[in-house]
A and B are shown apart, each in its own frame.
Chain A
């Protein structure tokens, strides 16, 4: 995993996803929402990358942009997404359909709404299979049943409808759909946020398990640092549509460089420390229709200087593979 600031870096052998300068903009009621603003990252085979950030930071938009399933009326995306040496952004729609669900698949944020309420659960799984493999209907059904069992749901529930399933089971169905064709890349968008802790544990376990068995790479989107810790290798912290810090989980968690990352840890009630007061980050995400110049975090940053408000802040490699977009990072790291 590595990140750079616009300079082209030849993708390494094992890098099979290379996202460069990805931007996503929405138009809504006449104003332009800058949801994703030039994101660059790479992902190696078998690795798991976590995208962490607050609500509205642009995490889901990134995943949807990669899969090119943004609403085509209101959203525009730019940049390159090199997947297995082809640029997905330039691909024909027909070609792209062959990638979706087959090579890259996605688990959606809300299991309650991600399933079609009028289609049998099993059909929703087997249709991915038949879409990408030329097999008979019976075989597809059999495959679908197998997938159901793999995620821990008895095969006889194949013919039921989503409303007959609990939230946890629905999320498992969504996972089964995503994994049905053994994708090379899994985009998991907050797969457990809507679930209870015990169920969340089950689901995370399941994903981890399957990922290992199938050697799938994964981008896990979440705002829960605990989940990141338990499932990921690398972390990218998203703030206002930019990766402000990225690196291995260990580096980022142990030695966060960016004041925002720092703040996130401070705001978290810690299970292990008995601090009386939390140290929240003041303020709110900036208005995505009207991002400030310079560092987007500047208005909330306790370390802000005038320089922070000018130009683009370059990413600095603090440690090997640990990048951070902050001009005062060195001072801050020393201070800690």
Chain B
């Protein structure tokens, strides 16, 4: 069953030099209990997509359906309820915790606000349960964020997101600030929690090995647009869009025996401000033709495998 369905979602920002198309006409579906990975380069709109989904920012256009209900526009009361179902975990475990709140208080705050608990003791008990769940040691519960290492901080962030028992969590690069050894701990925790609580994730990252490890489905974004989406397996096995191909080939492998064939991209990401119509990857795409300057459509090339590229058939 689809937990979240996004249709033609748009998010534009007004900036001094024009309109910045951070998310431009993105559509996808996330099934309950699965993880949707979102990959793409820095600044391509991954975070914006996540925050727009959970109404931390209002979308400019398009539609968001949550459990079949339209949640694109919400009044105060609806927003309140919606936010108990959706939560977010941020990339930077330094700036995502209030430095003046100790750990227990950070976890307890959403519980208190929710008004679900009769007494302070209940809140406390629930917070203890959550902290146990995410593995924060007893002795650290009174400490302040700056006293913790990144991994533990990220656990606190996860704990806070879990506090309200959400159904859907946007994970905005939750491990990219962490060392490999710590990163593994956090990834494991997220996967365990998903299993236990039937959570649904939108997992934003630019680390392809991570996304492959954790996601069921993957969206590849480029400059605000969704260029390819399909299941994780299929994407890695059979990337179709030239950008996806380049992206995958760029990942350095740890396998000493294998040498990958690189697709080298020329140039750098262009500005998302006042973009011209047409494929935004065209400027860097080795296969670009005039046809690419026309507006593009996301098309189902294979079952459940959507690609936005007009030359996909020719390229094979």
> Chain A interface (Cβ within 8 Å of chain B)?
54-55, 166, 168-169, 196-202, 204-205, 223-230, 249-250, 253-254, 263-272, 276-282, 284
Contacts and interface: CB of A to CB of B under 8 A. Distances in A.
Interface of B: 41-42, 149, 151, 179-185, 187-188, 191, 206, 208-210, 212-214, 236, 246-247, 249-256, 258, 262, 264-265, 268-269
Contacts of A224: 252
A29 B138 CA distance: 29
B268 A199 contact: yes
Contacts of A204: 252
Given A198-B246, A226-B251, A278-B188, A267 B256 contact: no
A198 B209 contact: no
Given A198-B265, A280-B185, A223 B253 contact: no
A129 to B, nearest CB: 26
Kindly name the residue among A201, A225, A270 whose own CB sees the greatest number of chain B CB atoms within 10 A: A201
A265 B107 CA distance: 33
12 contacts: A196-B41, A197-B41, A197-B206, A198-B41, A201-B249, A201-B250, A229-B252, A230-B253, A249-B256, A253-B256, A269-B213, A281-B181
B264 A201 contact: yes
B171 to A, nearest CB: 14
Contacts of A201: 249-250, 252, 262, 264-265
A198 B253 contact: no
A225 B256 CA distance: 10
A66 B40 CA distance: 37
B206 A226 contact: no
Main secondary structure of the interface of B (DSSP, over half): helix
Contacts of A205: 262, 264
A269 B212 contact: yes
Given A280-B188, A284-B149, A269 B256 contact: no
A38 B213 CA distance: 38
A263 B184 CA distance: 10
A286 to B, nearest CB: 12
A267 B206 contact: no
Nearest to A279: B184
B209 A269 contact: yes
Given A199-B268, A278-B213, 18 more contacts: A196-B42, A197-B41, A197-B208, A200-B250, A201-B250, A201-B252, A205-B264, A223-B180, A227-B252, A249-B256, A267-B181, A269-B184, A269-B213, A271-B209, A272-B253, A280-B182, A280-B183, A280-B184
Contacts of B179: 54-55, 223
B253 to A, nearest CB: 6
A269 B208 CA distance: 9
Contacts of A264: 180-181
A250 B255 CA distance: 10
B184 A278 contact: yes
Contact of A54 (B180, B254, B255): B180
Contacts of A199: 41, 268
A267 B188 CA distance: 10
Given A198-B41, A277-B188, A226 B268 contact: no
A215 to B, nearest CB: 22
B281 to A, nearest CB: 11
Given A196-B206, A198-B247, A278-B188, A265 B181 contact: no
B231 to A, nearest CB: 13
A169 B183 CA distance: 29
Contacts of A271: 208-209, 212, 236, 251, 253-255
Contacts of A265: 254
B209 A278 contact: no
A197 B247 contact: yes
Contacts of B206: 196-197
Contacts of A223: 179-180
- Please name the 10 residue pairs, one residue from A and one from B, whose CB atoms are nearest each other, closest first: A226-B252, A280-B184, A269-B213, A267-B184, A201-B250, A278-B184, A281-B181, A280-B185, A196-B41, A269-B209
